[in-house]
Structure 1
Amino acid sequence: MVNAAGKFGPYNQPGPERAASVTGVGHARALPGSGQSGSELVRSRIALRVRLATLIPGDRLPDVGVLADELGISEITVRRALEGMCQDGLLDRRRGRAGGTFIAPGWDAVVALLHNEEEAASLDAFHLLLECGLVAHSSGEVPPEQLERLQALVTEMDVAEDPTRLLELEARFHLDLAETLGGSGIREFAADLLGRLCLLQPVPEPAMVRAQNRCHAELLAELGRGATDPAVRAVKAHQRARLG
């Protein structure tokens, strides 16, 4: 597996020049009970990169061989996935010297047509179970300095005005939480879940994301105190805030 913090780390904060490729998204892993294929992995990881704003409409994707190497799947699987995304309207394919495969300008509108409430609810429940388990396992054993990066995200979300930035920070919080409590492998696993949810769930309103951020703050406070039950309740409260 590609190291999430290494050369191709896909979930780090963008540098001065925003990356315009899907890089280092880890090798394919099937989600339990979800039947996720390699092709679905390509879709979910591209969707997550759009949510993290390291890809935006109009950006060119890397060549098929590069994506296949990054994901640890075959080139034909990647090619089929990209073809399917082009047929759905998520990607554009252009010919010529400046050609390639690009994030479609109408990405958001197309994603809105792909929402699946039943499948999203199933994956959301699994994500909740994952985070509750990580919190219960790690509570009382997380040094305060390891929570500082998460606290910085909470603080930034408190003052962020741009809705797109809020969504990015929300996703980063859950990726960093998974890594802090479970390591880089669990971060990759959470990335699979979050990427698929980006395609299946409606985009939350800013007020909802701010309510969820209050749950983030409560979770970090309880983790810092080593209070397992209140920390787990904060994770559950986060989901209730999203469900309204």
Structure 2
Amino acid sequence: MVNAAGKFGPYSQPGPAQPAPVAAVRDAHLLPGRGQTGSELVRSRVALRVRLKSVSPGDRLPDAGVLAEELGISEITVRRALEGMCQDGLLDRRRGRAGGTFVAPDWDAVVALMHDTDTAAALDAFHLLLECGLVAHGTGEVPDGRLDGLRALVDEMDLSDDPARLRELETRFHLDLAEALGGAGIREFAADLLGRQCLVLPAPEPALVRARNRCHADLLTELRRGAMDPAVRAVKAHQHARPDASPT
């Protein structure tokens, strides 16, 4: 099945599932700098797969045709993007019967060389804007039960000691939050944004994830109460959370 965001152009899926106040995020030019090219989309989605543990360093990626169908872009664009990632050291190309395109074993070390403070700050600010808009519009409109999965992620983060698992769970929280408040199309948009962040922003330390998880918990509490202003404050507190500080 073709990804809806790609089928209709970046973030332009129509339909009632997307609330009006966040409809503007469907315009790709609103992303920091400019909208992603097809090649950049591939890079961000591969990075997101690694963060979510869909693939790990050393694992084989799906074939270019499968990725092209998932993303709604041409196979040749995917092939060129994967070749570029091989040149950058993010991926390895292997030939032969057991060949294919693999996540480089030293993925983390290569990504660390790509960190970009300015781009990371712009993406972080845009993500804050997106979530504040979603929360402001969705408070009081979330059906019973829709936040249960998010609460389960918060509870699991509280119990986990594994750094990679904590980062995975936090990323899943923000993806699921986007879908709970904005629908499947907004989730696709958030996936592109979070994937880009994975490439330019250092992976958070466990203590930071736990500090931000207190903000996650506060956000869910306020969403259940239908309290918009405190919910928005919880989103903002997440961005400024520190390992030794409680959200305010």
| Residue equivalent to 2:91 | 91
Residue type at the aligned position of 2:106? G
Higher mean displacement: 224-233 or 64-73: 64-73
Q: Distance in 1 between matches of 2:64 and 2:141?
A: 42
CA contact (8 A) 1:132 1:232 kept: yes
SS in 1 for 2:204: coil
SS in 2 for 1:102: strand
Q: CA deviation at 1:144?
A: 3.2
Q: Distance in 2 between matches of 1:64 and 1:44?
A: 15
CA contact (8 A) 2:2 2:69 kept: no
Please show how residues 34-73 of structure 1 align to structure 2 within 5 Å: 34-73=34-73
Q: Distance in 2 between matches of 1:188 and 1:131?
A: 14
Please show how residues 146-157 of structure 1 align to structure 2 within 5 Å: 146-157=146-157
CA contact (8 A) 1:42 1:78 kept: yes
Residue type at the aligned position of 1:220? L
SS in 1 for 2:92: strand
Question: Residues 45-64 of structure 1, C-alpha deviation per residue, up to 9 Å, x if partnerless?
Answer: 00001000111011111222
Q: CA deviation at 1:3?
A: 6.4
CA, structure 1 residues 136+241, in 2 after alignment: closer, same or farther (shift >3 Å)?
A: same
Q: CA RMSD in A?
A: 1.8
Question: Residues 178-208 of structure 1, C-alpha deviation per residue, up to 9 Å, x if partnerless?
Answer: 0000000000000000000000100111000
Normalising by the residue count of structure 2, what TM-score does the alignment of the two structures yield?
Answer: 0.86
**Does residue 1:75 correspond to 2:96, yes or no?**
no
Gaps of 5+ in 1: 5-24
| Residue equivalent to 1:8 | none
Q: Distance in 1 between matches of 2:198 and 2:143?
A: 31
Q: CA deviation at 1:35?
A: 2.8
CA contact (8 A) 1:90 1:107 kept: yes
Q: Distance in 1 between matches of 2:178 and 2:40?
A: 21
**Does residue 1:101 correspond to 2:101, yes or no?**
yes
Please show how residues 118-133 of structure 1 align to structure 2 within 5 Å: 118-133=118-133
**Does residue 1:209 correspond to 2:209, yes or no?**
yes
CA, structure 1 residues 196+242, in 2 after alignment: closer, same or farther (shift >3 Å)?
A: farther
Q: Distance in 1 between matches of 2:48 and 2:109?
A: 16
Residue type at the aligned position of 1:156? E
Q: Distance in 1 between matches of 2:6 and 2:155?
A: 29
Q: Distance in 2 between matches of 1:2 and 1:186?
A: 16
Q: CA deviation at 1:68?
A: 1.3
SS in 2 for 1:62: coil
Normalising by the residue count of structure 1, what TM-score does the alignment of the two structures yield?
Answer: 0.87
Higher relative contact order (CA 8 A, sep 6+): 2
Q: Percent identity?
A: 76
Residue type at the aligned position of 1:128? L
Residue type at the aligned position of 2:188? E
**Does residue 1:195 correspond to 2:195, yes or no?**
yes
Q: CA deviation at 1:242?
A: 6.1
Q: CA deviation at 1:32?
A: 1.8
SS in 1 for 2:146: helix
Question: Residues 102-130 of structure 1, C-alpha deviation per residue, up to 9 Å, x if partnerless?
Answer: 00000000000001111111111111000
Any runs of at least 4 consecutive aligned residues in structure 1 with deviations exceeding 6 A, and if so which? none
CA contact (8 A) 1:38 1:73 kept: yes
